[in-house]
Chain A
Amino acid sequence: METKQIVYPGDKVDVDDLKPRNGMYENNSEYFSEYFGVVQKSEKFIDIAPFNSPYLPRANDKIIGKIMDIGATMWTVDINSPYYSLLHMNDTPWHVSSGDLGRYLNIGDYIYAKISVSNEIKESWLTLRDNGLKKLEIGRIISVKPPKVPRVIGKGGNMINLIKNETDTRVIVGQNGFIWIDGDVDNVSNAITAIKIVEKEAHIIGLTDRMSEYLKKLKGEN
């Protein structure tokens, strides 16, 4: 069983032979945690996985974003991050002419997009030109804490597939913590409940089995 050591900001992290990677700072060749989180060791690396942290844009992440502002050639997009992202009119599947952006995406619209470029100062640019990327026309959007996204997806997608199948919904999980869900109203609210449980109990071992039982029970009640 995987052992999890909890650390607080300033706690010393024993790196042993592993290579320190995320969430630590170095001082006199010792390493200290920058977060309240858990120590995660892989074969080569050691990381601190924070319980909570803001989403920071990373190239190639597929995210869900919300249109916040329309400029002459670009949309400003909220990506569930301290930092806004930009979508240029040429990075869409449409033939958009300058000044006419609102016809395609309006303020408040959601998109499933990919971060094509991000830089050191956390500026980023989005694209809609790839398979499956699109404007999200229907459905509901919820958000989970960004560090919980891997648990919501589960190993090889097993958690999210379980939720989709058992609640009979369509779901897209953005790597930034925004999640799109569509289906019958009651099914959608069941899926939301399930995702919120995963977010809250992400650290509990055996969660997939418990979720499976929970969803079966929920189905029985309907």
Chain B
Amino acid sequence: MESNIKLITDDGLRLDGRALNEMRPIKIQTGVVEKADGSAYIEWGANKIIAAVYVREAYPKHAQNIDRAIVKARYNMSGYSVEERKRPGPDRRTMEISKVITEALESTIVLEKLPRAEVDVFIQVLEADAGTRIASLTTASVAVADAGVPMRDLVVGCTAGKADGKMVLDLSKDEDNFGEADIPMAILPRTKKIVLLQLDGKVSQEEFDEATSMMMNAIPRISEIQRNALMSKYNVEEGE
């Protein structure tokens, strides 16, 4: 991963002009897949991702959990979503991402309120531009709330990493490709408990702490965007 590519300019800014701790713009919209019980669409930088949730009896019957719901998130990429055409269907990378997203969502959904059910979360990456797993989880969590599935908190994801020897928030594609480390993380904002964490690269323990503190600081802002997305469908209410 190490290379000589310059990712931080002399005035301390990143190639896309962001400060080290600056996020890319994020926009979330709910109710985008009419057939689904809940859905949300996110634009995070140039990422474009849609998530749709169906709640139904698990099938076949012997696959049901008698006392709680099963969660199944499926992360899938469109053929045109990445530089080289992606062949349709799962591969090892997308299966791993599906698994860590499923587990993060399972830790917030109140599973015992929906015995025998399956919460299917379909995630489609239409355009990928670094940080798709975290953007997927962030929007999937809004879609789950939009479906009215009981949950303890809205999961928020974020990434930080190391580029050109500096710790940076919300890696760009270049920083992801040519930087020294990538750390995606997701937390439950109320308790600050971590429900997804991966690391890929090389960082010191101090650098790791710097990365997590950057992400923790960014979380409230992302939370706010999630909440506004849910609210926008009902904005008339605020006038009361």
Contacts and interface: CB of A to CB of B under 8 A. Distances in A.
Contacts, number: 93
Contacts of A204: 236-237
Interface of B: 37-38, 55-57, 66-67, 108, 110, 113-117, 145-154, 188-190, 226-227, 230-231, 233-234, 236-238, 240
A97 B211 CA distance: 70
B200 to A, nearest CB: 29
B205 to A, nearest CB: 30
A25 B110 contact: yes
B147 to A, nearest CB: 7
Instruction: Classify the interface of chain A: helix, strand, loop or mixed.
Output: loop
B152 A34 contact: yes
A8 interface: yes
Interface string A49-79: 0111110000000000000000000000000
A5 B95 CA distance: 40
Interface of A: 1, 3-4, 6, 8-10, 23, 25, 32, 34-36, 38, 50-54, 82-84, 120-122, 145, 147, 201, 203-205
A203 B236 contact: yes
B233 to A, nearest CB: 8
A36 B240 contact: no
Contact of A4 (B38, B150, B240): B240
Given A34-B150, A52-B38, A147-B148, A8 B230 contact: yes
A82 B37 CA distance: 10
A83 B117 CA distance: 8
Contacts of B237: 4, 6, 38, 203-204
B234 A203 contact: yes
A205 B148 contact: no
Contact of B152 (A3, A32, A53): A32
Contacts of B57: 82-84
A70 B46 CA distance: 50
A35 B56 contact: no
